[in-house]
Amino acid sequence: MFTKILIANRGEIACRVIATAQKMGIKTVAVYSEVDKDARHVQLADEAVLIGPAASRDSYLVADKIIAAAKATGAQAIHPGYGFLSENAQFSKRCEDEGIAFIGPRHFSIAAMGDKIESKKLAGAAGVNCIPGVNDALETPEKAVEIAKGIGYPVMIKASAGGGGKGLRVAFNDKEAFEGFTSCRNEARNSFGDDRVFIEKFVEEPRHIEIQVLGDSHGNVIYLNERECSIQRRHQKVIEEAPSPFISDATRKAMGEQAVQLAKAVNYQSAGTVEFVVGKDQSFYFLEMNTRLQVEHPVTEAITGLDLVEMMIRVAAGEKLPIEQKDVQRNGWAIECRINAEDPFRNFLPSTGRLVRFQTPKQTMFQGNTDDLFGVRVDTGVQDGGEIPMFYDSMIAKLIVHGKDRNEAIGKMREALNGFVIRGISSNIPFQAALLAHPRFVSGDFNTGFIAEQYSQGFRAEDVPHDDPNFLAALAAFVRRKSRQRAANLSGQLPGYDVQVGQDYTVVELGQAGKNRYVQVHVEEFVGKPGVAQIVIEGQTYAIESNSRLNDIRIEGMCNGKPFTAQMERGTFKNPLALQVQHNGTRIQALVMSPRMAELHQLMPFKAPPDLSRYVLSPMPGLLVDVAVAVGQKVQAGERVAVIEAMKMENVLFASQDGVVKKVVASQGESLTVDQMIVEFE
C-alpha cells in the first residue's frame, strides 16, 4: 500500500480523497493555484505545493507541474479526482512512465472510453445500443447545421472531451445549431484543451440513469447498482439519487450486466460510470462512460456501504476487489443535492465572492466512513470566510442524506436544506428545496426536461407555495416579539418612554411592485419559560418554542409539537428594517409593526424602479471575452451583444429590444462586476 499520495485537484473532491487517505493512514500532498493558497484542501493535506496562477490552464491542467510536485514530495501515486486531468489518457500514461501509480483506470481504457466519439464506436462494435448520430468530429458550423438537418431536430452538440455540462448545447433549429457549435468549441478548448465536437439525436423525455462499475487488475468487474440523475438544468445534474424510482429489477440487472461487459472489453481497472439514456418503456441506450470518480458517488456509497475512494486506491495498489457481484448491497435510499454558487432568482447566474457565513446542517455521516449511515453528510471544499473564485466550477458543496426509503430521504433532505446557511454569495438552496417539494419529484414522475418544463419562466421565491404560509408570518412575529421583550427588560429607561412589548402586531410581507400582504397577528404572553409563545393568525394557533438566539441565522425549535428548522436574518437588500424568513424553499421579507403603523404603511406610495431597458448590464461577475457590437450599429432584439465567461461557462447576452448603439462602455478582456454597464443604446 502507498504511504503518500498526491491529489491533482482542488475543492470538495480533494478534501474527499484526503479523508479516505487519512483513514487508511496514507499521507497526502495537495496542489494549489495562487488563488487557492488558503483553500480548505490545502489546510487538510499533510503537504501542499504551489503549481501556478489561478487559471486552470496554467495550474491544475499542467501535467508537468503536477508530476514535478509528486516527485519533489515523494508521492508514490496520484489521484486526479474529477474534471481537470482525470480523463486525460496522456496524463495517465505519463504517470505510469514516471513510475507513479495513477489512481484511476489505465491509459488505454481512458483513451478507449474517455473519448466520447471513440467510445460510441467501440460500444456499437460491442453490440451496445447507441443513440443515432454522427460520431466524427465536425469542422465547421455549416457542417453541423447540415448534419443536424439530416438527423432531424432536436440534436445535441457535444464536445468530445466534455463533461459536467461544459461544451454541450441542444439545438432545435438551424440558428441554434450554428451558434451552439461555436460556443461548444470555445468552451471545450478553454475547459479541456480539446475542441473536437460531434452531434447526435436528442432523445426527448429521456431519463439519465448511470451504472457504477468497479474493476481491478485481476480481471474482476462488478456493478454497484444505479444512480438516477434526471433532475438536470442546462445538462448539469442538480439532484441525484440511488436507487432509481423508475427502473425495474430486470432493467437494473440488464443495464448492470451490459456496463460490466463494456468495462471488461477495455480491461477497466478502477471506479467508473457507464451512463445510459432510458426511455419510457425502459429501453436504454449507451450515452458515454466516465472513466473517473463521479461527483455523485456518495449516494452509491450510502446504499452499498462501500468507500469508493478506498476501492480506487486499493485497486491502484494492485489489490483484488474485496467483494463479488452477489455481495453488493442495496440498503435504503440516498439523495444528493449539489449546492452551487449561483443565484436562482437571477436565472442561475454564477455568484462569486466571500463566504460571510457558511454553516452546514448537523452531520451524522462522514467522508470515508461507511459504518455510520442513515443520516446527513456534507462534502465541501470551503469554509467560513473562504473565497469562491470565478475561475472554477460553481459547486461549493454536496449535501447527502440516507433514509430507509425514498420518502424518508426526501424529508431528511428538506430539513437539512432548511439548516444549510450560506451568506455573502447566492446559492441554489431555495431552488433545491422547491424541487424536493414538487409533487412530480415526490411521485418520481420526471425526466431530464423536468426543470426546463416546470420553470420555463425562471424561478422566483413567490412561485413556491409554502404548505403553511402563515407559519412564516408567525415565525417573524415570534422573533420580533422576542426582540421587543429583550428591549423592554433593559434597565435605565425613562419613565413614559420605556419599550412596550404589546400583543397585537401586523406582519407586512413585502411583495413585487408594492403588492404587499398584511397579516394580523396576536401574540399571547410568553409562558413558563423564555423562548415560548402562542401566536394566533386568522384563528389558527402556532405554539412556538425556540432557544435560538436573536442573532442566529438558523432558528431551530418546535411548532405545535413538531420540530422545525428555518433561517431568519435582519435587514435585506429590499428593506434594511425587514426580517428575511426562509423555510422549505420559500423566502419572504417581512416588516413586523404595530397595527397603526401598518395602516400608515399602506398609504405610502410605491416607487417604481428606474427603466434600464436602454442598457445591457453584466448579470454576473465575470470576464468580458467578446463585444459583438460597435457604436452606431443598428441592433435587433435577440441579437448577440456580448459574451461573458464565468466559472468555465460562456454566457451570451442578447439585446432585449431594437436600438442603435450609443456607447460601448466596457472593453474586451475586462473583469466585470454585477450590474456593470457594457453597452448603452440611444
- Catalytic (active-site) positions: 288
Amino acid residing at 291: T
Contact 651, 349 (CB under 8 A): yes
Distance CA(459)–CA(467), nearest Å, equals: 18
Per-residue HEC secondary structure of 329-379 comes to CCCCEEEEEEEECEEHHHCCEECCEECCEEECCCCCCCCCCCCCCCCEEEE
Distance CA(4)–CA(27), nearest Å, equals: 4
Pick the closest to residue 419 from 366, 336, 359 (CA basis): 359
Distance CA(531)–CA(529), nearest Å, equals: 7
DSSP reduced 3-state for 161: strand
Q: How many CA atoms lie within 13 A of 558 on its CB side?
A: 7
CA 517 distance to own-chain centroid? 33
Contact 631, 678 (CB under 8 A): no
Contact 223, 260 (CB under 8 A): yes
74 DSSP 8-state letter: T
Distance CA(370)–CA(194), nearest Å, equals: 38
In this structure, what are the phi and psi dihedrals at residue 424, rounded to the nearest 5 degrees?
A: 105, -35
Cβ neighbours of residue 220 under 8 Å, at least 6 residues apart? 320, 321, 324
With residue 622 as reference, give the H or E element that holds it.
strand 622-627
Pick the closest to residue 350 from 399, 301, 298, 391 (CA basis): 391
Contact 224, 328 (CB under 8 A): yes
With residue 568 as reference, give the H or E element that holds it.
strand 562-570
Q: Nine-digit cell at 156?
A: 445535441
Burial status of residue 458 (CB atoms within 10 A of its CB: 0-12, 13-18, 19 or more): exposed
Could you give the angle at the alpha carbon of 198 between the alpha carbons of 177 and 207, nearest 5°? 85
Amino acid residing at 258: Q
For cell 402586531, the residue is 505
